[in-house]
Structure 1
Amino acid sequence: MAADTSVPHSRSLALRSRPWILTYHSVSDPTDDPYGITVSADRLDEQLTWLRRRGLTGVGMTALLRARTAGERGLVGLTFDDGYADFLDEALPVLLAHGCGATVFVLPGRPGGSNVWDPLGPRRPLLTEDGIRTAAAAGMEIGSHGMFHRDLTALSDDELRQETHDSRDALRRLTGHAPAGFCYPYGTADPRVVESVRDAGYVYGCALAPGSLSGPLALPRTHVSHADRRTRLRAKEVRHRLRHRRAASGPGDAR
């Protein structure tokens, strides 16, 4: 069954604190990984085991935001950027074994392609259109990562619209559901980019360190690497809480 992507409108997402959201990329052999974005399936299993032992459940972004709006706790957002093909064989079985969900941010402009934007490291295949539908059918939320993985802050207005609006339309046609969420490539955004995401109809946007931007369209996340085990994960959780414990500036702000 595909994930339910119906969420409250962004103006109703009055989050009293920033939710903890973990950022993954490829789940495969981390040996040749110059960017530190690959974890093995065994390490992912270890990380999810740590979360579950602490009474935390990993979920997709829509489920996380809906639960926080309702005042529920005990959930952590799990996100997988770029839509690598290894998600199906390596990450998905581990997630399901732990009773966890996730949001997979994909590139509808590169189905079955590879991470050509990375100048270093191995070429890693991306999900095909069938692979994206398979992930959705397994209960994972599908979000947009733009069409081609470009730095949105450097694009013209027309190019930016293609990345935000056109990618949403493409995923609607592909999965039958318009994605609720957008993930900024490279984790970067600015007010013009955020406004384009808002105008396209997304309910939330995921960055890494959004800086002065705030609100549901500029949610910060925590990068997870293969080196992150119990002690490092705990330290990252504490750092997140210290950085983001103050209330978000406003339920609809991202300026």
Structure 2
Amino acid sequence: MSKRRHRDSIRALLAKIPILTYHKIENRREVGINALPPEHFQAQLACLQELGYTTITFHDLLDSPELPEKAVILTFDDGYASVYEHALPLMQPYGFRGVVYAVGRFIGRWNDWDANLGGIRFRHMDRRQLRELADAGWEVGAHSLTHRALSWLDETSLHREIFGSRDLLADVAGRMPASFAYPFGMHHLRVREMVKAAGFAFACGGINSAAEAVDPLQLRRVPVYQFEGLSAYRKKLRIAGLPRLEYLKLRILSWPAVLTPLYQKRFRRELFLEMEGMPGVYSNNSND
């Protein structure tokens, strides 16, 4: 393995690299704005290529001896099956790779941790699909075990969510994850310290995270929504100068996410009690 970069060098690189957030890449509609049609996603990939961007992963930031002059990190939260079905084949012709953040206890299951308005559910990738992504050069990162607001958990549950997801995803991908994504982008000092103790070199929040993008444990990411055109997409790549109106728009659009943890506490408590009693590595054959 090549020598790892010094953390100051990594901070300097992060200040110049846009990090974008996707969720679902598919045509199925939802009561929400996170399901991006594949044709829109393909247009964005073509835009990245036209602008001279090359994708990298957080593993690349640590270990790759050379990085492209114009790098971008494409992250996919929750590990939905549509990323394997649509994003992977669309990205391969461009030589692009991504970072997928899987929810450990929901690997191969429906997204019952979410509110799923209108009764519309989405399937998460199974172990085989995640391993195929890893074998294709993608990074499989951790997104907790059950996708709850980590800042609301006690010390024991917090440790289980962070260390447990690390170990599970390392088993799935065959490699220790370099990065963690905070569910709902919610975190505070106690959560970040636990993430650091678990050995994660990077941790991603949302649009409300550290503006300077120089703290590797609270990286700002810019979300991509289904209704946005290529003009808005190009603005997202301006990490050092995201227009103020664009930033305010994205902050407003992100606020409903904080309602899901409230829904979980009120209506899904039994599900999470069941999840906490599960063994460490989730079965590949789950069809729940």
Tell me the TM-score normalised to structure 1 length: 0.84
Shift of 1:44: 0.8
Change beyond 3 A, Cα 1:124–1:71: closer
Query: Offset of 1:242 from its aligned partner?
Result: 1.9
Cα separation, 1, equivalents of 2:197 and 2:132: 29
1:38 is aligned to 2:35: yes
Q: How does 1:129-140 map to 2 (within 5 A)?
A: 129-140=127-138
Q: Does residue 180 of structure 1 match 2:178?
A: yes
Counterpart of 1:90?
86
**SS of equivalent residue, structure 2 residue 218:** coil
Q: 1:73 to 1:205 in 2, by over 3 A?
A: same
The alignment covers a number of residue pairs equal to: 238
CA deviation profile, 1:38-95 (whole Å, cap 9, x unmatched):
111111100010111011122323325656x967521110100000011111110011
In the alignment, which of 112, 118, 126 is matched to residue 116 of structure 1?
Answer: 112
225-234 or 201-210, larger mean C-alpha shift: 225-234
Q: Decide whether aligned partners of structure 1 residues 6 and 217 sit closer, same or farther in structure 2, where only a CA change above 3 A counts.
A: farther
Distance 2:83 2:74 in 1: 13
User: Within 5 Å, which residues of 2 pair with 1:70-89?
Assistant: 72-89=68-85
Q: Distance in 2 between matches of 1:6 and 1:184?
A: 28
Query: Within the alignment, does 1:198 sit opposite 2:196 as a pair?
Result: yes
Matched residues in 2 for 1:131 and 1:9: separation?
A: 33
Going from structure 1 to structure 2, the CA distance change for 1:89 and 1:33 (only over 3 Å counts) comes to: same
Shift in alpha-carbon separation, 1:6–1:78, aligned structure 2, 3 A: farther
Stretches of structure 1 lacking an aligned partner (at least 5 in a row): 245-255
CA 1:90/1:243 → structure 2, altered by over 3 Å: closer, same or farther? closer
Q: Which has the larger radius of gyration?
A: 2
CA distance in 2, matches of 1:178, 1:6: 17
Q: Which amino acid aligns with 2:191?
A: V
Identity %: 31
The Cα shift of 1:13 comes to 2.2
Deviations 1:176-228 (A, max 9, x none): 21111101111121111110100000010111121479511111011011223
For the 8 Å contact 1:7–1:203, the answer to whether it is kept is no
Point out the structure with the larger helix share: 2
Query: CA RMSD for the aligned pairs?
Result: 2.5
Shift of residue 156 of structure 1?
0.6
Aligned AA (1:62): H
Question: For structure 2, which runs of at least 5 residues remain unmatched after alignment?
Answer: 244-288
Q: CA deviation at 1:137?
A: 1.5
Using the TM superposition, give the Cα deviation of residue 130 of structure 1 relative to its aligned residue in structure 2, in angstroms.
Answer: 1.4
Quick one: structure 1 residues 71 and 180, their matched pair in 2 at CA, closer, same or farther if it must change by over 3 Å? closer
| SS of 1:89 mapped into structure 2 | helix
* Letter paired with 1:97: P
Aligned to 1:249: none
**After TM superposition, what 4+ stretches of structure 1 lie above 3 angstroms from structure 2?**
4-12, 64-67, 69-72, 211-214
| Residue aligned with 1:15, SS | helix
Return the alpha-carbon distance in structure 2 between the equivalents of residues 127 and 51 of structure 1. Answer: 26
Deviation at 1:118?
Answer: 2.2
